[in-house]
Structure 1
Amino acid sequence: APESAWKLLVYSCTWSYSIYILFFTKNNYFYDAPSTFYGWKSGSEVPNEIYLAYILQFSFYIHSVYGTLFVDAWRKDSIVMLAHHVVTMLLIGFSYAFRFTNVGILILYLHDITDILLEGTKLAVYYKTKGGRWYTACDTLSTCGFVLFGLAWFVFRLYWYPLKAMYAAGHVSKVVNDGITFYHFFNGLLWILLAMNVYWFMFIVNMAYKVVTGKANEVDDTREYEAFSGKNGKAK
């Protein structure tokens, strides 16, 4: 629970800051994603507000690698989670080095919202039973949170992410700047990220299916191992 509360706070701050950058400054990249590559050139100056977002995000993902390895319970998707953190750090680092930061901030915005809903829902699940008591309000919150989480995952990560960010990085960047540095590597990482988004969406669909068909009475984490728990694989 403390780790989820910490992540909820961090993701809420980073997503709110992304909203500020994309909707309250001149960086109107959400509504005009292709403009992320207009006027691109290697070595151009990165705006201070985007630089700060990058520093915060990169620092947090260093912590996330440590958390996955040494703090979080080992789950079915832990290897994929670790790979996700590495891919994200590569995207942040190389997009900064080659000045793809405009589309980078858009990608971060499109992903952080689901993490807010995920950690909030996990907290509600944790507190459904506390001190031997059952809290109906937390049960209701966990169900509502799961529904919103699934919807947000589909809209932000499976619809808007390829429609806006991947389109800008894969097509617009090629049209505007043919032979752009880092093109294939960057877009390859974006496709890997999309594949991971699809992979995790299968867990969401699986959980929804179990609840709807009555195979599960409540929202739970379908990523848990059935026979083992803990990173060292100790039997329950």
Structure 2
Amino acid sequence: MERHQDEASISVRAAEPMPGYAELVLKGYATMLSAYQDCSSCGWELSKRTLLDNASLTRAEVALFLLCALGWTVLRQVLSACLFRPFGQWCRLLPKDVAKMPESAWKLLFYTMSWSYSSYLLFFTQYSFFQDPPSVFYDWKRGMEVPTDIAIAYLIQGSFYAHSLYATVYMDAWRKDSVIMVVHHIVTLALIIFSYAFRYHSIGVLVLFLHDVNDIQLEFMKVNVYFRNRGGVYHVFNDIISNMVCVSFSISWFWFRLYWFPLKVLNASCISSLQSVPNIPFYFFFNSLLFALTLMNIYWFLYIMLFVVKVLTGQMREVNDVREYDLEDSKRAPMHGKPVEPTHYNSWKDSKHLKNGIMKDKHL
């Protein structure tokens, strides 16, 4: 009886403690340097062979992925035309807010749904990826079966980011950071597709959970900004809500994307992965994508901090958009003392054109 209890206790791994920043940097650097030195035979041929031997993605999965991406695009157009835009007009929003509100309403709806599902997987099922991130690689096997509940999460998120790549260019309001956003979607889509094909789906769920929560707050804040002016009346309640969400958004961005993400995800991908699977495939490729994602998170966080400083120092008297990237919200010099009415552009295609390699405004 005691022997069985001892064996059971041995089989249960204790959760590894989360490291600090200094430990992550030092151990991560040493681990990656050692892996690089051991990879003397690495090259294109080995990478090609590793890809063919380890990646597992069927044509049916690709077809379903593309079909769902098309479905998100159609669903957004239908909801915008039949629900979001008519509702904005019924509430008598400003014309420019009626044009922009459907984008935020759509994203708020999706990210709330996707983050709720990720939270369910991490906290209400048997998975312990959040409490013990290194466990994402404990039982990894080449071509292993992806659990159905995680496969659903991947299908939802992957197809949505494929749709978002198209939507950023042709459907969303074009902003100053839209190019960075396109890069973000490409990196995220590559992470989703390749992590599924290589069966790194466990860490993928954790990455999605740590990012979607900020998108919920951002879009909820923007919706309240659009609803401040309704029917010619300024509503203080929506202004208060947008300011409160702006503060929580700034705090949660640091906590989820710059604290938990590197100390949980990067620690697992850089260090624990090699400890559990010494010859783990495409080690440098996946970590490069995760580092790129981290750099973009730092870039946006610095911009958020600049925005907060402007609000606190009185340079900006109210919250318009924490990203402050809408072209029509940029400062314009008045002509002969008269304010210039901003023009709303629905997409890059509507607002810009390429001439001699330089993006310039259209003038008709």
Quote the Cα distance in structure 2 between the aligned partners of 1:20 and 1:73. 32
Higher relative contact order (CA 8 A, sep 6+): 1
Query: How far apart, CA to CA, are the structure 1 residues paired with 2:362 and 2:319?
Result: 24
What TM-score does the superposition give when structure 1 sets the normalisation length? Answer: 0.96
SS at match of 2:297: helix
In the alignment, structure 1 residue 219 sits paired with structure 2 residue 319: yes
Write out per-residue CA displacement over residues 155-211 of structure 1, whole angstroms, 9 at most, x where no aligned residue.
000000000011101110011111210211111000000000011112211110011
Matches for 1:182-221 after TM superposition, within 5 Å: 182-221=282-321
Equivalent of 2:273 in 173, 176, 180: 173
In 1, Cα distance between the equivalents of 2:141 and 2:113? 30
**So what's the TM-score if we normalise by structure 2?**
0.63
1:132-171 correspondence runs (5 A): 132-171=232-271
Which segments of 5 or more consecutive residues in structure 2 lack a partner in the other structure? 1-100, 333-342, 352-360
Once the two structures are TM-superposed, the CA of residue 234 in structure 1 deviates from its matched residue by 5.4
Q: Which residue of 2 aligns with 1:107?
A: 207
Q: Which residue of 1 aligns with 2:194?
A: 94
- Cα separation, 2, equivalents of 1:203 and 1:71: 24
Does the CA contact (< 8 Å) of 1:207 and 1:220 recur in 2?
Answer: no
Q: Which amino acid in structure 2 is aligned with residue 177 of structure 1?
A: V
Runs of 4+ in 1 over 6 A off after TM superposition: none
> Match for 2:325: what amino acid?
R
What is the Cα deviation at residue 24 of structure 1? 0.8
| Match 1:17 to one of 105, 117, 123 | 117
2:231 alignment counterpart: 131
* C-alpha distance after superposition, 1:16-75 (max 9, x if no partner): 101110011111110100100101111011111100000000111112112100112221
User: Residue 223 of structure 1 aligns to which amino acid in structure 2?
Assistant: Y
Helix, strand or coil at the partner of 1:73: coil
* 1:51 alignment partner AA: A
* Alignment match, 1:72: 172
SS at match of 2:208: helix
Percent pairwise identity: 49
Q: 2:202 aligned with 1:122, yes or no?
A: no
Question: Per-residue displacement from partner, 1:72-115 (whole Å, max 9, x unpaired)?
Answer: 22212111000101111100000000000000000000000000
Among 105, 109, 133, the alignment partner of 1:5 is 105
Indicate the larger mover: 219-228 or 25-34.
219-228
Once residues 96 and 199 of structure 1 are traced to their aligned partners in structure 2, the CA distance between those partners, rounded to angstroms, is 27
Residue 6 of structure 1 and its aligned partner are, at CA, apart by 1.1
> 2:295, 2:113 → 1: CA distance?
26
* Ranges in structure 1 where 5+ consecutive residues have no aligned partner: none
Contact in 2 for aligned 1:207/1:219 (Cα 8 Å): no
Q: How many residues align?
A: 235
* Aligned mates of 1:125, 1:203 — CA distance in 2: 19
How far residue 131 of structure 1 moved from its aligned partner, in angstroms, is 2.0
Question: Which residue in 2 is equivalent to 1:42?
Answer: 142
Could you tell me how far apart the structure 2 residues matched to 1:122 and 1:227 are? 19
Q: C-alpha separation between the residues in 1 aligned to 2:234 and 2:302?
A: 29
**What is the aligned counterpart of 1:58 among 158, 164, 182?**
158
Structure 1's 178 and 152: CA in aligned 2 closer, same or farther, altered over 3 A? same
Q: Who wins on radius of gyration, i.e. which is larger?
A: 2
- 1:192-231 CA distance string (max 9 Å, x none): 0000001111221111001100000011232234358633
Give, as a single letter, the amino acid of the residue that structure 2 aligns with 1:224.
D
Matched residues in 2 for 1:137 and 1:99: separation? 47
